[in-house]
Structure 1
């Protein structure tokens, strides 16, 4: 298999060198060129024909957000991975870049300490994402378990699934299927834009609460919840501990904290903890799914959207075994068909759906008043 052709776009000589050196160590990756800003990248892209582009956000002449928009307008479909800073400004800019058409993001290597640490950061975060986003096999990270789990960057680095067609097995459904009392959603790479399509399509009258794990750092989850809240009829908040779960409210797990549901005084409430990462992730989808299965006695509708790795697979199996239902995003519309693919290939998905049909399927399984004729 030919190496993955990558173009590195950054105005910093140091960052370009770090990224180029690390990527060049991998025989499966070839750095075909660099650019000092978005304008130069646009001029070079037709000649270099990269399969993936790494992109800084703040650059002179044309910044990364404008460059992503211009690349997409030009018809360039190569995945774009942004370099981000873990700040309010960096989070906002990164979310803007994802909305403009970028596929994922990693921590900017110049901000993590020494050159050696910067290179380790690129190896742990960027290399697996390059391979997953281009449909190549991704091995487990060589770094310590949980590396990157505290930020959500580099999370879920288990084996990604490529673009080859797969056989979809089916595990027999339980004899009794329970009416869902909660909607639980898990997502990672590509998840911000997927959630920004699914949640606004759900009505304010949704009769169950919604709990979500999206692999993201702390500052990012707060800003992302605020953005979703502006888009949705539902109330979207970054989860805090001890809040009763009410219909029509969406609780997004904060970065670096597992989100669970606990009974307190006879009322089901949100709970947060910083227990060990699962699937190299904190928050982890499996932790959330396991929790809602117990709290709601299996009356769960679980949805697994685009993302790297296999986080959510075990939890989805527990949901289905307990009488709940599981929906998975299909391969064609997923940025990376790792998480939903793992659920599907394990036989735990009741339905495998294009992203555009997920909200309709959710409402089909819930007694939503807005679906009545004339409503």
Structure 2
């Protein structure tokens, strides 16, 4: 199994301080394909390429990687075994689990996210799909950039094994957060949007709310189909909530939690006295299907100002357009704060747009939600 050294791709300047990536996969072919994808980007370097978890653990300190792309099924030491050892060596390193879309791998990936992995990326099942997979390439590069940036922020101010000119550049001042008043109307529905770091945050939030939630809850988490089924089962088992993947045409019921299934937008329609769930296979929004925005737009139409929306950790800005619709209808939008988010993309977008009524640490969101829902009931 090979181990690569520092990248020397031409066209990069010494002061650019690219994001440093370690690849861990038992297939040298897969590592080679991913390396070529990454080397096409001027701001990312592959600093190590190894064939099993044991080599990753022994090499992490030397590689000083920002992001580790970690396969699940490998000889000698698999990804789930290696994960806690990598985090013990460097608690700030961002680990992206890479797995094919099987039920077993989905279950293992959810366990890995609960154990501290930052995100996952589904690998195409065939090498030819991997080499020509523009969707896989885009998703992987986007997650490496986002998580690598988050890792740099986490290490800001701490002693580092390397110093580069980029660390000396002045930081732009953060955008100000201006809060709006929360709705005084009773809350009839809870909506949650999340992406990178979302499964961990969802489980924490829903455990804090508890099983006696008296309104329907709709969740859109960016995940493929096999993963959302496993996540819904984990939510039900660990929180006591009645949670399942949403089904097209079912009537929304108080106390039930509906998770958007992978590859479908979840939207809500009012039919007389009932609210009906619809699954939409229309074009992706924000490169995602399911996407948070269509869910929130439909909830604003169906419930008006009686919507409470929480935007949790995730990269990108999905939820911003839908959050604006909720706010315009008189509903309440809250966001997870930057300090407790794996990536402050989605919550940061709504927090700095002036539509939020609160920006809170993850541990404080459940009490806020419980108080809002119970206030007028």
> TM-score normalised by the shorter chain: which range applies?
0.7 to 0.9
Paired residue for 1:130? 144
Number of aligned residues? 342
Give structure 1 stretches of 5+ with no counterpart. Answer: 137-162, 371-375
- Which of 243, 248, 260 aligns to 1:236? It is 243
TM-aligned CA deviation for residue 73 of structure 1: 2.9
CA contact (8 A) 2:130 2:136 kept: no
- CA deviation profile, 1:233-280 (whole Å, cap 9, x unmatched): 221111112222222210000011111111234211211111222112
What is the DSSP-based 3-state SS (H/G/I as helix, E as strand, rest coil) of the residue aligned with 1:317?
helix
Paired residue for 1:57? 72
TM-aligned CA deviation for residue 202 of structure 1: 1.3
| Mapped partners of 2:175, 2:131: distance in 1 | 43
Map residues 92-103 of structure 1 onto 2, 5 A cutoff.
92-103=107-118
What is the DSSP-based 3-state SS (H/G/I as helix, E as strand, rest coil) of the residue aligned with 2:333?
strand
Paired residue for 1:322? 329
Question: CA separation of 1:121/1:367 partners in 2, compared to 1, >3 Å: closer, same or farther?
Answer: closer
Bigger proportion of residues as helix: 2
TM-aligned CA deviation for residue 126 of structure 1: 0.8
| Mapped partners of 1:2, 1:98: distance in 2 | 28
In the alignment, structure 1 residue 11 sits paired with structure 2 residue 19 = no
- CA deviation profile, 1:158-186 (whole Å, cap 9, x unmatched): xxxxx966233426558x64221100000
In the alignment, structure 1 residue 218 sits paired with structure 2 residue 233 = no
Q: How high is the TM-score relative to the length of structure 2? A: 0.86
Paired residue for 1:248? 255
Map residues 152-301 of structure 1 onto 2, 5 A cutoff.
166-170=174-178, 172-173=180-181, 177-301=184-308
What is the DSSP-based 3-state SS (H/G/I as helix, E as strand, rest coil) of the residue aligned with 2:92?
coil
What is the DSSP-based 3-state SS (H/G/I as helix, E as strand, rest coil) of the residue aligned with 1:34?
strand
Superposition RMSD on alpha carbons, in Å? 2.1
| Mapped partners of 2:127, 2:360: distance in 1 | 39
TM-aligned CA deviation for residue 107 of structure 1: 2.2
Question: CA separation of 1:293/1:15 partners in 2, compared to 1, >3 Å: closer, same or farther?
Answer: same
- Which of 89, 95, 98 aligns to 1:83? It is 98
What is the DSSP-based 3-state SS (H/G/I as helix, E as strand, rest coil) of the residue aligned with 1:66?
helix
Q: Which moved more, 1:240-249 or 1:105-114?
A: 105-114
TM-aligned CA deviation for residue 87 of structure 1: 1.5
TM-aligned CA deviation for residue 361 of structure 1: 1.1
Q: Which moved more, 1:190-199 or 1:272-281?
A: 272-281
Question: CA separation of 1:115/1:297 partners in 2, compared to 1, >3 Å: closer, same or farther?
Answer: closer
| Mapped partners of 1:368, 1:89: distance in 2 | 42
| Mapped partners of 1:88, 1:359: distance in 2 | 30
In the alignment, structure 1 residue 313 sits paired with structure 2 residue 328 = no
Give structure 2 stretches of 5+ with no counterpart. Answer: 1-15, 151-170
CA contact (8 A) 2:263 2:289 kept: yes
TM-aligned CA deviation for residue 90 of structure 1: 1.8
| Mapped partners of 1:195, 1:208: distance in 2 | 17
CA contact (8 A) 2:186 2:376 kept: no
| Mapped partners of 2:242, 2:375: distance in 1 | 16
| Mapped partners of 1:302, 1:68: distance in 2 | 33
| Mapped partners of 1:172, 1:110: distance in 2 | 47
